[in-house]
Structure 1
Amino acid sequence: MNTFYKTILLGFIALSVAACATGKNAFDKGDYETALDRAVKRLQANPNNKKAQDVLIDGYSVASAFHLRRVQQFKKGGDTFKWEGIYNEYAKLNRYYRDIQRCPSCMSLVSPKEYILQQEEAGQNAAEVQLELGKDALAINTIETGRQAYSHFEMALRYSNNIGDIDSLLTQARQVATVRVLIEPIPIHSRNLELTNEYFENKMFEYLDRYSRDRFVEFFTIDQSQQRDVQPDHILSMAFDDFVLGQAKIVSKTVELKRDSVVVGQYTDNSGVEHDVYGSVKAEYTSNEKTLFSAGVLNFEIRDAYTGKVLTNRKITSEDVWRHEWASFNGDERALTDDEIKRAKQRELPPPGPQTLFISFIDRVYGQVEGNIRQFYRNTKI
């Protein structure tokens, strides 16, 4: 590309960038918000920019007329949510007003008008519509309509803070919308093992408490349900169907180790100079591995409290092998590697007790329990 064409291209790019910066392109496309935003920013940086001045003057006039016309269209229409549309149109006009107010050079070009009272009135009307829709939904008194009511009341707050009993209505809606889940006692069925699930229960209840804080779901124990006189919607059952331990097994393996070129002594030659004597060293090395197999099954089930219908059921299984390694040797230690020497210094350990292994099993299945709860109650987010 020769210099002439490069100059033309650079000039075209410069003009395009300038047009974008002043908002001219956005104005031509009918994007008045972007056009005015860019024009105001350009005039704040360069009050004498002629293109930005033209965009501001023409843009504010056209944009104001456009939004006010939209307000009249909404008022004449029969849309239930027309006041939300009117609120949004006045909000844009007030944004133009604030932006221009912060630009001294802009104020000398246009006289923006404020519509705060009109926006507040539209917001109050929009809030009242949402409030009535919420009350109608709340009166139906089902979990689904309770959630709809909660959403309407929250929407009402977006448009107006002047709603006297809104906190009470939100509380009522959340109570109706919340699924109440009774957690049955968690039994353990294990052959010849005395185990406690206190660790699992504490961990589970802590998680359920955190999980339910921002959701339409609440979990209760039987005692809590009786104390609060709560009628559950769901019943969550978790039972350790079985937890078994195998017999500890020890596997030993003995090998002969040999290393050459090891200094095994010294000798002195006729000149009185000492020399190393190299030879081979040997050791009989025995490695030992003790293993203990454990396995368990946790039955996870959620039922409908009214009909007894099983809503979800999972068999959560896990198994583990505990391992311990140690070694011994007879012979010359120099035949061993550093790792073999380190292992030979270890001693045989007894396997962990059943409760320790059971807790390890709980840690392995706990994440799956959380996952099942999150999946089943995924649509309860507030």
Structure 2
Amino acid sequence: MSDNKKKWFTLNLNSKHKQTSSSCGCGKTSGGCNSHQPKKEELSNDAFFEAAVDASIGDERHKDGFDQVFDVKMDRRSAFKKLTASLLIGAGAAASCTSVTSSSESKEKAQIDWEEQFKGNYKLMDDKEKSATVDRLVRSYQLRTGKNINMSSKNAEEDVLFGYAFNISKCQGYMDCVSACVEENNQDRNSEMQYIRIHEMKDGKGFNFNEADDNYYHEVPAEGHFYMGTQCFHCDNPPCVEVCPVQATWREEDGLVVVDYDWCVGCRYCMAACPYDGRRFNWSKPEVPEEEINKNQHYLGNRMRKKGVMEKCTFCVQRSRAGKNPACVEACPTGARIFGNLLDPNSTIRWVLENKKVFRLKEDLGTEPKFWYFMD
């Protein structure tokens, strides 16, 4: 974040309200005409919120992560809703800790819920804080299901910038990539969420997405048609990032555009701003059968999401940062998908960019997507 921009998370909740005095025509500032009795002024919204937080939380407000959660101006109703939800969690934690019959696991679960409620934005955490929230989520899953998951918080590596190329000549419309993506990234089965779209287009009509069929159910490849895939393009100038009011989505150093699901407020501004239809919204709680959950996860990738938040393709961050190809690349039976490090002069994707006539969608928008198309 550049220094010349006001930091969104730095708001003054601790401002002092100056007291003012006045005098009247009697020439006295106190006593005398009885007109100097202190007025009972109604608290402003800011003062009311300040008092409510201090009364309910006290010194807890100065702990790491708390200021980020409560450092937002809001009206009284919103303040009470926020405080009530948080205090209910606290009440549950207190009840678990004081109950004679409560198990140690119940106490631990309540403590985890409390700490997760007040954690900060992931991109503002240091490595120790990132590891701590990952450990809490792993432990929470163990307590809830009795099973284990492997969750990573691995950061972007130096000298790595991920890019993607799609060979239109080779794609046959099999959709193996779509199925692999759904399974790898724990996408909601009820809504049949899919990050990848495979567009079936008629030969000679150009790239006409308005007339393309994205839900074909016939034998492929169909005569007189060609196929073209779209997903999140991980732009260098992502408009989705610019419009997010809480900075729940951002671009990582290795070029991946990611989402902090626990910081997203579900406004869907990013969904509206994306010119490539790369974002998905959870209208209901995502459901994945326990036996189908991919337990190799990344905090910014395929960990389980919740109702009311955005999600998207991450180039399988849990795989790509481990030196593997995304699931769609690995699953493609025709080799139409190519992924690699754009900064590596010996990588396959660099060879494609240097030796093929490549193009990108909507280049005139200046979004600089890191997803190229080409033909043999």
**Shared fold per TM-score greater than 0.5:** no
Structure whose alpha-carbon radius of gyration is higher: 1
Structure that is richer in helix per residue? 1
Structure that is richer in strand per residue? 1
Higher RCO (C-alpha under 8 Å, 6+ residues apart): 2
If the length of structure 2 is used for normalisation, what is the TM-score? 0.21
If the length of structure 1 is used for normalisation, what is the TM-score? 0.21
